[in-house]
Amino acid sequence: MSEREIQLPMLVTGVAGVAGLNAFQHFHNLFPGQVIGVCREDLWPLHGNGIIGCDITNGDQLKRLFEEYHFKSVLSCEGTCALKSCEMDPPMAQRVNVGGVRNLLDAIGQTDVRMIHLSIDLVFSGDGDGGYVETDTPDPVTVYGKTMVEAEQEILTRRSDIFVMRISLPMGISYSGHAGAIDWIQSRFKQDKPATLYFDEVRTPQYTDCMNELFEVLLTNNMSGLYHGGGQTKMSLYEIAQVVNRLGGYNPDNLQGCPRIEAGPMPPRAGNVTLDTTKLCTELGYQPFSPWPLSEQWFPKTRQWHYEREEMDEAFGHEFLASVLYHRPG
């Protein structure tokens, strides 16, 4: 791998999402005035301090943005992951998740812009035992997953120098306070409302802190093609909610669980979509992702684990949760 300095200015798309927002904040702090984040124009509360309204489904608007800023690096985090909305409106999902990528590639053209694109583990059905590798054939069960596969193919067909990474659940803050895995679950518990999560939808979550450090490395080397970037820990959505419930000091009765077959047909739910990150670790020469949660003592042992309140739990609460789940401790 050849290395170079991060090329600036940088564009981060999809800053309304957890991965995009945390990446933008990270690089905006590193390179003040050299990083631009974009999101839809109607998300005006996000605009300002380096974030502007630009709809990537509008190809002409995106090209004008590139003509104005002459970006040298791009973190492509754009995409709608609202599963039910995608099922109800497939043309919208196609327009955003596939059309947006086409527009981005058109705006880049044949320039030597360094681009990293994020895809998702939900390109797989999860009907087996998980541990998917890059050569496994995608078989998504959702419209969202299908459009993400199509976006991957669009990129890999048109450009051989782009790094495409399938991630799982990025663990970090959301701009709205109720998006992303942690914030959605916690928003229910904060209101003393029940949250129902699945025993058999299994993911490989990762701290956004780890992702941002990895982006720094990837933006300075020439790795390209398709890679899996799942975290070290395999956790069901129910187990993730157990961690949030106990470490946040919330009412354990508000966490409910069920197998995904009981959730109904809309939207379809994937099963064990855990990712094998061996290829990425081998090429990098190290493991880029710390376990989430970092400490084994915070990992559920049983389905009743979140009821087990001990002396150490007295320190638990929202501030403690934020310090160990949104950000990698230490």
Give me 6's structure tokens. Answer: 């991060």
Given a contact cutoff of 8 angstroms between Cβ atoms, the answer to whether 122 and 269 are in contact is no
First-residue to last-residue Cα distance in the chain: 29
Range list for CATH 3.90.25 in the chain: 181-200+234-326
Q: Which of 149, 316, 144, 166 is nearest to 243 (CA)?
A: 316
* 233-272 pLDDT per residue, tens: 999 999 999 999 999 999 999 999 999 988 877 789 999 9
Q: Indicate the CATH number for domain 181-200+234-326.
A: 3.90.25
Q: For residue 244, give the H/E element and its range.
A: helix 237-247
The domain made up of 10-179+205-228 has a fold known as Rossmann fold (3.40.50)
Given a contact cutoff of 8 angstroms between Cβ atoms, the answer to whether 143 and 120 are in contact is no
Mean pLDDT value of segment 5-22: 96
Range list for CATH 3.40.50.720 in the chain: 10-179+205-228
Mean pLDDT of the chain: 93
> Residue 171 has what pLDDT?
96
Given a contact cutoff of 8 angstroms between Cβ atoms, the answer to whether 325 and 171 are in contact is yes
